[in-house]
Chain A
Amino acid sequence: MYTYDSYDQQLVDERVAQFRDQTQRYLAGKIPEDEFKALRLRNGLYVQRFAPMLRIAIPYGLLAARQLRMLAHIAREYDKGFGHFTTRQNLQFNWPQLERVPDILADLASVQMHAIQTSGNCIRNITSDHLAGAARDELVDPRPYCELTRQWATFHPEFNWLPRKFKIAFSATTSDRAATKVHDIGVHIVRNESGELGYAIYVGGGLGRMPMIAHRIRDFLPELDLLSYLEAVLRVYNRLGRRDNIHRARIKVLVKETGPAKFAEMVEAEWALIRDSELRLHREDIDFIKSRFDEHAYDAAAAADTGFEQRVTEDPAFAAFVRRNVLAHRVDGYKVVFVSLKPPAGVPGDASAEQMDVLADLAERYSFGEARVTHDQNIVLAEVKQGDVYAVWQTLREHELATPNIGLLTDMICCPGLDYCSLANAGSIGVSQDINDRFDSLDHQYDIGDIKIKMSGCMNGCGHHTVGHIGILGVDKHGEEWYQVTLGGSAGDDASLGDRTGPAISRADIAEAVERIIDVYMEQRHSEDESFLQCYRRVGMPPFKARIYANEAVAA
Chain B
Amino acid sequence: MSALIIDGRVAADAYVELADDQTPAGTPCIVPLARWLEQREALQASGAPIAVRLPNTAEVGTIWPLLEDRPMIELDFPTFADGRAYSQARVLRDRYDYKGEIRARGGAVVRDQLHNMLRSGINAFALRDDQDVDTCLTALSDFDLAYQPAADRSDMPIVGRLRRRHAAV
Which residues does A use to contact B, with CB under 8 Å?
5, 7, 10-11, 14-15, 18, 22, 25, 30-31, 34-35, 38-39, 121, 148, 151-152, 154-162, 227, 235, 238-239, 243, 273-274, 277-279, 281-282, 284-285, 287-289
A160 and B116 within 8 A (CB):
yes
Known: A161-B80, A278-B149. 11 other contacts (CB 8 A): A11-B146, A155-B147, A157-B150, A158-B87, A239-B87, A273-B95, A274-B95, A279-B158, A287-B160, A288-B163, A289-B159
Task: List which B120-169 residues lie within 8 A (CB) of chain A.
Answer: 120, 135, 142-152, 154-161, 163-164
- In the assembly, what is the distance between CA of A235 and CA of B95, in Å? 13
Inter-chain contacts of B161 with A (CB < 8 A): 282, 284-285
Chain A residues near B115 (CB-CB < 8 A): 157
Interface contact A155-B90, CB-CB below 8 Å? no
Write 26 A-B pairs (CB below 8 A) sorted by A numbering. A7-B163, A14-B142, A14-B145, A35-B112, A148-B158, A148-B159, A151-B159, A155-B143, A156-B148, A156-B150, A157-B116, A157-B117, A157-B151, A158-B90, A161-B80, A161-B82, A161-B83, A161-B108, A238-B84, A238-B87, A278-B149, A282-B160, A284-B161, A285-B159, A287-B160, A288-B164
Rounded to whole Å, the gap between the CB of A273 and the closest CB of chain B is: 6
Asked if residues A11 and B147 are in contact (CB atoms below 8 Å), the reply is yes
Residues of B contacting A239 with CB < 8 Å?
A: 59, 84, 87
Contact between chains at B158 and A10 (CB < 8 Å): no
Cβ-closest chain A residue relative to B166: A7
Question: B86-126 interface mask toward A, CB cutoff 8 Å, 1 = contact, 0 = none?
Answer: 11001000110000000000001010110111111000000
Task: Report Cα–Cα, A422/B149, bound state, in Å.
Answer: 38
* Nearest CB on A from B80, distance (A): 5
Assuming the contacts A10-B144, A162-B83, asked whether A31 and B112 have C-beta atoms less than 8 A apart, the reply is yes
Interface residues on B, range: 35 or more
Pairs A-B, 7 closest by C-beta atoms: A161-B83, A288-B160, A157-B119, A278-B149, A157-B116, A151-B147, A158-B86
Query: Which residue in chain A gives the minimum CB-CB distance to B60?
Result: A239
- Return the chain A residue nearest B154 by Cβ: A278
Chain A residues with Cβ below 8 Å from B90 are 158, 235
Q: Which residue of A lies closest to B160 (CB)?
A: A288
Task: Report the minimal beta-carbon distance from B23 to chain A, rounded to whole angstroms.
Answer: 33
Q: A243 to B158, Cβ gap below 8 A?
A: no
Check A151 against B158 for contact (C-beta < 8 Å): yes
Interface centre among B81, B113, B163, B164 (most CB of A within 10 A): B81
Closest B residue by C-beta to A227:
B158
Task: Flag if A278 contacts B158 (CB, 8 Å).
Answer: yes
A22 touches B112 (CB 8 A): yes
Please give, as numbers and ranges, the residues of chain A lying within 8 Å of B143 by CB-CB distance.
11, 14-15, 18, 155
Most buried by B among A7, A148, A279: A7
Please give, as numbers and ranges, the residues of chain A lying within 8 Å of B120 by CB-CB distance.
157-158
Please tell me if the beta carbons of B145 and A7 are within 8 angstroms of each other in the complex.
yes
Contacts of A38 in B (CB 8 A): 80-81
A37, chain B: closest CB distance, angstroms = 10
CB of B124 to closest CB in A, whole Å: 16
One of A10, A35, A156 near B80 (C-beta < 8 A): A35
Interface residues of B in 65-87 (CB under 8 A from A): 80-84, 86-87
Contacts of A287 in B (CB 8 A): 160
Central interface residue in B86, B95, B116, B118, by most chain A CB within 10 Å:
B86
The smallest C-beta distance from A248 to any residue of chain B, in angstroms, reads 15
Q: Contacts A282-B161, A285-B160, A285-B161 known; A18 to B145 CB distance under 8 Å?
A: no
Q: In the bound complex, how far is the Cα of B83 from the Cα of A14, in angstroms?
A: 23
Do residues B160 and A289 form an inter-chain contact, with CB atoms below 8 A?
yes
**A152 pairs with B80, CB closer than 8 A:** no
B contact residues around A159 at 8 Å (CB): 83, 86
Chain B positions within 8 Å of A157 at CB level:
86, 115-120, 146, 148, 150-152
Chain A residues near B84 (CB-CB < 8 A): 238-239, 243
CA distance A15 to B115 in the complex (A): 12
Q: How far is the CA of A235 from the CA of B147 in the complex (A)?
A: 17
Question: Within the assembled complex, what's the spacing in Å between the Cα atoms of A73 and B29?
Answer: 59
Known: A11-B147, A38-B80. A285 touches B158 (CB 8 A): yes
A369 CB, nearest partner CB in chain B, Å: 24
A152-B82 in contact (CB<8A) = no
Contact of B149 among A30, A31, A238, A279 (CB under 8 A): A279
Q: How far is the CA of A323 from the CA of B110 in the complex (A)?
A: 57
A4, chain B: closest CB distance, angstroms: 12
- In the complex, chain B residues whose CB is within 8 Å of the CB of A31: 112
Q: Which of B87, B113, B160 contacts A284 (CB 8 A)?
A: B160
